[in-house]
């Protein structure tokens, strides 16, 4: 437990120095995960349970979705990541600033859910604690991978992020936005 506390303290200090507040914001879901998706065939047809929706950074919402939907069997799945990003960018192109912030937003999301599950663990009793403990471990494992303290697919995702920003595509989107005003 001491190692977890030390890691979380270090992460809080790191993220306190990082947090970028000038990224695009709007209404976000806040907790995108498989149980919140209504799927028909191979298509997502609805996003459910907006109970913690609010105003926030779009990239944080996307990072939360990546942490929930692109992590399987103890590692990040690059194919899932690329499919999620392609779907997202078909509706809204990420800016260079968002691509730059993405790794830290992933860390913040994993940190946030680790802390939330720890809080749930200490508030619960009996059998519920076992499931919550697994959730704590799952999010803590993601955090260790994102901090590059453990293998788990982060390097391939970072490479995809580094090459994911297409300046020409972004400029076309901005030109269309200016024309529509």
Tell me the pLDDT tens digit for each residue of 120-129. 888 888 888 8
Give the torsion sign (CA, 162, 169, 102, 144): negative
Reading the block at residue 57, the tokens are 């950074």
Q: What would the DSSP string read from start to end of 25-81?
A: EEEE-S---GGGEEEETTEEEEE---TT-EEEEHHHHHHHHHHHHSEETTEE-HHHH
pTM of the model: 0.82
The 3-state DSSP class for residue 6 equals: helix
Q: Does residue 169 carry a pLDDT above 70?
A: no
What residues form DSSP beta bridges with 46? 38
Q: Return the CATH superfamily for domain 2-174.
A: Aminoglycoside phosphotransferase (APH), C-terminal lobe (3.90.1200.10)
Tell me the pLDDT tens digit for each residue of 137-150. 889 999 999 999 99
| 63 touches 102 (CB < 8 A) | yes
Give the torsion sign (CA, 72, 75, 79, 83): positive
Name which of 104, 111, 98 is nearest 59 in CA terms: 98
């Amino acid at each position: 437990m001491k190692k977890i506390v030390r890691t979380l303290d270090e992460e809080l200090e790191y993220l306190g120095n990082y947090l970028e507040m000038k990224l695009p914001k709007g209404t976000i879901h806040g907790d995108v995960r498989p149980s919140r998706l209504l799927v028909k065939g191979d298509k997502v047809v609805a996003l459910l349970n907006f109970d913690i929706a609010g105003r926030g950074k779009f990239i944080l919402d996307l990072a939360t979705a990546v942490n929930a939907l692109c992590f399987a069997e103890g590692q990040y799945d690059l194919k899932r990541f690329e499919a999620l990003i392609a779907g997202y960018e078909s509706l809204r192109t990420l800016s260079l600033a968002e691509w730059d912030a993405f790794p830290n937003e992933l860390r913040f999301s994993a940190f946030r859910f680790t802390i939330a599950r720890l809080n749930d663990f200490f508030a619960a009793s009996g059998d519920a604690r076992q499931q919550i403990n697994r959730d704590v471990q799952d999010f803590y494992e993601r955090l260790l991978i994102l901090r590059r303290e453990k293998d788990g697919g982060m390097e391939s995702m970072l490479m995809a992020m580094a090459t994911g920003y297409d300046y020409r595509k972004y400029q076309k989107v901005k030109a269309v936005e200016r024309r529509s005003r």
